[in-house]
Amino acid sequence: MSASRYALVDGNNFYASCERVFRPSLEQQPLIVLSNNDGCAIARSNEAKELGIKMGAPWHTIKHLEREAGLVALSANFTLYGDISDRMMSLVSGFGHRQEIYSIDESFVDLTGIRGDLVARGQKLRQRVLQWLGIPICIGIGPTKTLAKLANHVAKDAERKRGSYPAEHAQVCDLTAVPAPALDALLMVTPAREVWGVGPRISDQLHNLGVFTVKDLRDMNPATVRSRWSVTLERTVRELQGVDCIDFDDAPAAKQEIACTRSFGGSVLEMEELAEAISAFAARVAEKLRLQGSHAGELLTFIRTSPFRQGAQYSRSAIMPMIPSTADTALLTKAALVSLRTIYRTGFKYAKAGVMALSLSPADQGQGELPFGVTPAGAKSELRAGLMATMDRVNDRYGRGSLHIARNESAAPTRQWSMKQERRTPHYTTDWQSIPLARA
């Protein structure tokens, strides 16, 4: 059996890059994308990063840069990003045997057993995605997912920040091809907090023990790590040591999205079966949201056939805005099922489906859309919150899925609240009325 190899492929400044594809005038300009209701920066072009704009910076604190530095701020166009993501994921899936979508712009690809120069292969994929979609990507390759993610960080910084890492690692970085002393040198200049799953709290605790760099963390004794912290951090340390031990479903949650996706053992043909799976995923996503105290502003649902099987291929995703943002199982399940109905086509053998919560915000910072305290289903939100908490307790005690929302097509129709999105670009690729104009 050959040693495991994974790639983490992601889009650079993904939302900003999507906007630039259809607005050439935004090239070279400092550009940010704002969260729902134009609250804060959720994506930044390199030029915007150079202006010192931080991720999550509230719009009103940086608005002055519009006049002073030519900053362009756009409202999030998740419909566009979802479609470009769908196209990108489909291209990236051809890079290895198995793909696990991790967030709207990131996926892991299993490269185990693939021979040849992986960096050259990666550059080719990068070139293809850039030409076909106009999206720049970075690729990190490692023997474990944690190291692949770290390699991706190296690939990004080597490209963007001159002098941070050797230039040969820019865009595509394969840690499995780096000799041990050079690898140590890379890990020594990378702070431990850059490691997947090491949050600020753990990073502070590590600091107190004199563990500053990724190399320090890698060289810790896993048993000590387990007794002092947790099995999760122990696993991270083992992964840094090159032992492949993170299954996709155990992966630490991404900061900006929460996802639940799965490949089906056989192939699924029927809507009914997919609906069953999608409801379960939506419920799981809702649970994860509540666990970390977040609300979702958008819900992405996708279904796809397997590119590795014979037969007609199909891959689609749909994004449903959740207004107001929510962690309510019933609302998220309903949104996912409506999306599924929109994208489902008969006659395909579906191999994978998933639900992803996007545009997350802390649950205690309700954006206060009108009407206050009323969910679209008409129930009082405190009551709903209580119901959800009870559901979580029941499921905790009796096992996941013991108590779930019945799929009910006759639920009250969702009311459409309009969201403040003054600066949104058109839905260039999903609405015939909004396709770009070409002069002739």
Partner 1 sequence: MRIALPDLSKPVPAGHLPALLGAVDFAIPAGFPSPAEDMTIKRCDLVELLGAHPQATFYMRVSGQSMVDAGIQDQDIIVIDRAIEPRHGHIVVAVVDNEFTCKRLHKRNGRVRLESANQTFPDIRPRDGQMLEIWGVVTASLTLFKP
Q: Sheet of 41-44: strands edge to edge?
A: 41-44, 31-34, 72-75
Query: 228 or 427, CB closer to partner 1?
Result: 427
Query: 165 or 428, CB closer to partner 1?
Result: 428
Nearest-angstrom CA–CA distance, 1 and 239? 19
Binding residues for partner 1, total number by CB under 8 A: 24
Nearest-angstrom CA–CA distance, 394 and 119? 49
In this chain, which of 341, 404, 407, 427 binds partner 1, going by CB under 8 A?
Answer: 341
In this chain, which of 87, 160, 404, 407 binds partner 1, going by CB under 8 A?
Answer: 87
Scanning 260-268, 275-283, 367-375, 428-436 for contacts with partner 1 by CB under 8 A, the matching segment is 428-436
Judge whether 36 and 418 are in contact, CB under 8 Å.
Answer: no
Say whether residue 307 binds partner 1 (CB under 8 A): no
Say whether residue 310 binds partner 1 (CB under 8 A): no
In this chain, which of 52, 61, 132, 221 binds partner 1, going by CB under 8 A?
Answer: 132
Smallest distance, Å, CB 340 to partner 1? 12
Say whether residue 438 binds partner 1 (CB under 8 A): yes
Scanning 2-10, 212-220, 250-258, 341-349 for contacts with partner 1 by CB under 8 A, the matching segment is 341-349
**H helix runs in 36-77, sequence order:** 46-50, 59-62, 65-69
Q: In 3D, which of 294, 290, 344 has the Cα closest to residue 318?
A: 344
Scanning 140-148, 170-178, 329-337, 432-440 for contacts with partner 1 by CB under 8 A, the matching segment is 432-440
Phi, psi (deg, nearest 5) at residue 417: -95, 145
CB burial string 236-258: b at 16+ within 10 A, e below: bbbbbbbebebebeebbbbebbb
Scanning 54-62, 178-186, 286-294, 424-432 for contacts with partner 1 by CB under 8 A, the matching segment is 424-432
The set of residues, in sequence order, having a beta carbon less than 8 Å from that of 303 and lying 6+ positions away, is: 274, 314, 315, 316, 317, 340, 343, 344, 350, 352, 353
Q: For residue 56, what are its two tokens?
A: 């999550």
Smallest distance, Å, CB 239 to partner 1? 32
Say whether residue 134 binds partner 1 (CB under 8 A): yes
Q: For residue 211, what are its two tokens?
A: 């563990």
Smallest distance, Å, CB 420 to partner 1? 24
Q: In 3D, which of 410, 405, 413 has the Cα closest to residue 330?
A: 405
Contact string (CB under 8 A) for partner 1, positions 375-414, x = contact = ----------------------------------------
The DSSP 8-state label assigned to residue 161 in this structure reads S
Query: 342 or 408, CB closer to partner 1?
Result: 342
In this chain, which of 199, 293, 386, 436 binds partner 1, going by CB under 8 A?
Answer: 436
Considering only residues 97 through 126, tell me which ones interact with partner 1, judged by CB under 8 A: none
Say whether residue 347 binds partner 1 (CB under 8 A): yes
Query: 406 or 440, CB closer to partner 1?
Result: 440
Single-letter amino acid code for the residue at 79: T
Smallest distance, Å, CB 10 to partner 1? 17
Query: 82 or 142, CB closer to partner 1?
Result: 82
Judge whether 418 and 322 are in contact, CB under 8 Å.
Answer: no
In this chain, which of 131, 208, 410, 418 binds partner 1, going by CB under 8 A?
Answer: 131
Nearest-angstrom CA–CA distance, 166 and 157? 10
Say whether residue 312 binds partner 1 (CB under 8 A): yes
Say whether residue 435 binds partner 1 (CB under 8 A): yes
Helices 381-398 + 271-291 axis angle, to 10: 100
Nearest-angstrom CA–CA distance, 159 and 173? 10
Say whether residue 133 binds partner 1 (CB under 8 A): yes
How would you class 409 by CB atoms within 10 Å of its CB: exposed for 0-12, middle for 13-18, buried for 19 or more?
A: exposed
Say whether residue 24 binds partner 1 (CB under 8 A): yes
By CB under 8 A, name the binding residues for partner 1.
Answer: 24-25, 87-88, 90-91, 131-134, 312, 341-342, 347, 428-429, 432-433, 435-440
